[in-house]
Homo-oligomer: A and B are copies of this chain.
Amino acid sequence: MRIVVTNCNTTQEMTEEIVRGARAAAGPGTTVTGLTPAWGPESVEGWLDSYLSAAAVIDTLRTYDGAYDAVVMAGFGEHGREGVRELVDVPVVDITEAAAHLACLLGRRYGVVTTLERSRGQIEDSLHAAGVAQNCAVVVGTGLGVLDLGDTQRTEEAFVAAAVQARDAGAEVLVLGCAGMTGLQRLVGDKLGLPVVDGVAAAVKLAESLVNLGLTTSRAGSYAKPLPKRRTWRPGAKPGPGAGPGPGSPGPGV
């Protein structure tokens, strides 16, 4: 099985870290390919970044020629999910919803620990649209920016502090609300004695599950194929079909 993982930002190192996490979670027969958008923000923090990212990620998949069996979208709380579902014929799993789905199986209420406070609204909206917001007790920010996550000591402390807040608000399970936090999972789980779900790993397992069961996005209603029409993906450019040989590639005309 071939899974394509899309980073939501243009930072290649982050794509690599995400791919490492995805590979660690993937089953024996699964290959993971990371895609970094050629344009967009270097990190996604807030709505402006998120909408820019959504278009760039869709464009990245639209023009990707490789073949794949599923898409994992690695932007926690970021937009684009439904657009990619329209675009490709294979299952699409976003790490936000994926983490929440698994968390619901592990406790009665879960909490999300993310980077900046300002992302809270986007995450809440994303969980709501995905239909899994009900059992989310709280979304807590650590005050760290995405690109600050390199400072391990500070990151760990901030994350543990936020996790304690989430637990006190009723969370029995924690979700790591950022693709770049993958490594923190074990640390926090050990300190607090709570299961911690990493979105990238969760999304890989859910994508594998859907592919193995022969299930893919419904074309009835919301996620019908994009209508053929003129779309200019950047100033001065012409619409290009981007048709690839693989089952996941979008058809021409988008």
Contacts and interface: CB of A to CB of B under 8 A. Distances in A.
Contacts of A230: 10, 41-42
Interface string A123-155: 001001111111100000000010100000000
A46 B226 contact: yes
B118 A224 contact: yes
Given A58-B52, A131-B104, A237-B39, A215 B232 contact: no
A31 interface: no
- Contact-size category for A: 35 or more
Copies in the complex: 6
A163 B213 CA distance: 20
Contact of A209 (B42, B92, B205): B205
Given A54-B55, A79-B51, A132-B131, A108 B222 contact: yes
A194 B220 contact: yes
Contact of A107 (B172, B202, B223): B223
A39 B173 contact: no
Given A218-B107, A232-B10, A80 B97 contact: no
Interface string A75-112: 00001101111110001110001000110111111000
Contacts of A54: 51, 54-55, 79
Contacts of A213: 25, 102, 197-198, 201-202, 205
20 contacts: A27-B212, A39-B234, A46-B83, A46-B226, A47-B85, A48-B84, A49-B231, A51-B80, A51-B83, A54-B79, A104-B131, A104-B132, A107-B217, A107-B222, A108-B221, A118-B224, A120-B222, A131-B135, A133-B134, A205-B212
Interface of A: 10, 25, 27, 38-43, 45-52, 54-56, 58, 79-80, 82-87, 91-93, 97, 101-102, 104-109, 117-118, 120-121, 125, 128-135, 145, 147, 167, 170, 172-173, 193-195, 197-198, 201-202, 205-206, 208-210, 212-213, 215-224, 226-227, 229-235, 237, 254
